[in-house]
Structure 1
């Protein structure tokens, strides 16, 4: 089937179909579900419209302007979305089986529970009656940056060279899918089924992989650096020919000695000893209660369940660390960094969060930029000030004192 076989609706027909569909979305008894199947609509501008439930089976929407549209539960089976602009679009539970997505911009789109099976991005299936035509679609320029593909059906799909950095693919079914050469840095794959999935030469720096299902999964040449310890333990046995970070120099076993050397470094103004720097170390459930910690670095460490009760933390760096369920009861935190850390379920009861004063009246703010947190975490905490940019508290009028 070629573009010449598609119907070209007149502006009046298109307006009528969309108009009755919009009425149907509000009052089903008065309107009619829109059907633009096998219509030629290249380059059309529908930006920002609520078209949920509309049928686009086999339609040509190549190069269309569809940013911020609501396509929830729409049917794009066998459609052509090559080069279309779908930034921020809602495609929850949409049918995209056999759709062409070459060069499509889906940055920030919501594809939760969308169906992209049967060779999406590589085998293009268009059906008209009993006719089925196969074609090839390229995926090198497809943009899924920070798109939400959680619980999506991706089995057998081909995403070669696609940009999927920061994408949410938690609990997605990806059996036999091809992500070779794909940039998936920072993607969330937790709970996904990766059986038979191909990640050859994929860039997977800092991906989250706890709870994934792995069987005959290929990681040849994949870049798996920057993984948290719990994520690395999920895949290292299967990914013998992938690239990982070297084992951390400082870890749980030598923590007392490292902190002792760190104290010498502080007391001598850096002339003796060495700063304590822990990177990607597994320090889960470590007991550091009641200590004084100054300028210690815990970068991208696993500190789930760690105990910092009554600990004085001055300019301590927890950037990117997993602090789920950690205890900070009664802790004093001044000038610390919790940027991009996971603070789910931490206990801050009786803690005090404040800037760290410096000579000359300057101060270092305690930073939570990009951290995973909720307002309820700070119940019972004394928060004088802090940087909560790019968090759930940003712009919420969180009640600071001082």
Structure 2
């Protein structure tokens, strides 16, 4: 586009924005109509575009961070590689939109219509296609929906393959007949969602909540469901071949209830009665530990893969060299825990406390000394540390690549030689 043409376009957009502002204020101006315009790389950051019309417009690489797009018409819009971080797209018409590479982190798509979105890879698919977590076959970045508010969104028939939806809200959403195979739905709220006949083959649901969800005809083959909250969910008509479900305590080779009863007595008596739990080297994969107290327990090189440890007390526990992949540790109390060289890949530690523990004497009085959490050499690849307290933690030589650290508290943490993603 020639320089005069670009200048003319900018003036046109500016004029439309001013008129739209008046329309929003007192209906004296006109609703902005950007239909079919090429707005590549335009900066609409924090602008009020509520109700604006963008039908068929090109918004590739545009900046729409924190923009107000409520009830906007984005029918068949090209949003490839656009940044919509924190944007409000509630009740938006996104049918037929191309979302390749778009960033929707913490955007609000409540009651948005995302049906029949254009494909990102092959034309044989139908519905919204947000294919691949990070990059597709030609190396281009694809949509990231982690933390997005999709409450009540219409996603029936959508294809959302291998996509990161960590922490997203899909409460009341319609995902019937949608394809989400191999997607990461860790910590996702699916309360009251219609998931009938959806395909979740190979998907991960670490810490996901299914309260009141309709899963009739759902395909959960080879999915990771052990640490999900499936209480009161009827799975009788779902396909569960190869799905990783919760293991019953009766299936274990040890009497874990007795071990933990003795451990509870040991805690209450400051070591004078009972015995400290030693779970070292045991296999507790996919076990539900909710409600148990593992404070000070020894679990060196223990396998907790896919286990549910949400809100469990783990203060001062020794989990060195433990395998905690895809474990649900949301809101767990882990102050002073030893996780040296532990494998926490894919673990969900949202709002867990891994800060220092304040030491007390046998009388329960504070000694004015603290014990920091030891995460030396631990691996957190693709883990969720959103809101996690890591104050004063020893993260030397830890691998945090691909880790979600939004709102993590890292004050005074030692991250010497830690591996983190480049900005």
TM-score range, shorter chain: 0.5 to 0.7
The answer for unaligned runs of 5 or more in structure 2 is 133-141, 299-306, 319-327, 338-348, 373-385, 389-405, 409-423
CA drift of 1:228 comes to: 3.5
Residue 110, structure 1, aligned to residue 114, structure 2: no
Q: Per-residue CA shift, 1:154-197, capped at 9, x if unaligned?
A: 11111122221111111101111111232222211111000111
1:321 to 1:206, Cα distance in 2 relative to 1, 3 A: closer
The SS at the match of 2:231 is helix
Contact residue 176 and residue 196 of structure 1 kept, 8 A:
yes
**In 2: Cα distance, 1:221 partner to 1:279 partner:** 15
The residue correspondences of 1:3-402 to structure 2 (distance < 5 A) are 10-28=9-27, 30-117=28-115, 119-122=116-119, 139-140=131-132, 141-228=142-229, 230=231, 234-235=234-235, 238-247=238-247, 249=249, 255=257, 258-260=260-262, 262-263=264-265, 267=271, 274=278, 295=296, 300=308, 320=329, 357=360, 361-363=368-370, 370=387
CA drift of 1:336 comes to: 10
- RMSD over aligned CA atoms reads 4.9
CA drift of 1:205 comes to: 2.4
Q: Per-residue CA shift, 1:182-241, capped at 9, x if unaligned?
A: 22222111110001111122233222112110122112232224223627x554862422
TM-score, scaled relative to structure 2: 0.62
**In 1: Cα distance, 2:295 partner to 2:202 partner:** 41
Q: Per-residue CA shift, 1:113-162, capped at 9, x if unaligned?
A: 11112x225399xxxxxxxxx99966331111100001111111111222
* Larger Rg over CA atoms: 1
**In 1: Cα distance, 2:15 partner to 2:249 partner:** 67
Contact residue 218 and residue 237 of structure 2 kept, 8 A:
no
CA drift of 1:356 comes to: 5.0
1:229 to 1:257, Cα distance in 2 relative to 1, 3 A: farther
The answer for unaligned runs of 5 or more in structure 1 is 125-133, 304-312, 324-332, 343-353, 372-388, 392-402
Contact residue 123 and residue 135 of structure 1 kept, 8 A:
no
Structure whose residues are more often strand by fraction: 1
The SS at the match of 1:17 is helix
TM-score, scaled relative to structure 1: 0.64
Contact residue 230 and residue 302 of structure 1 kept, 8 A:
no
Aligned to 1:398: none
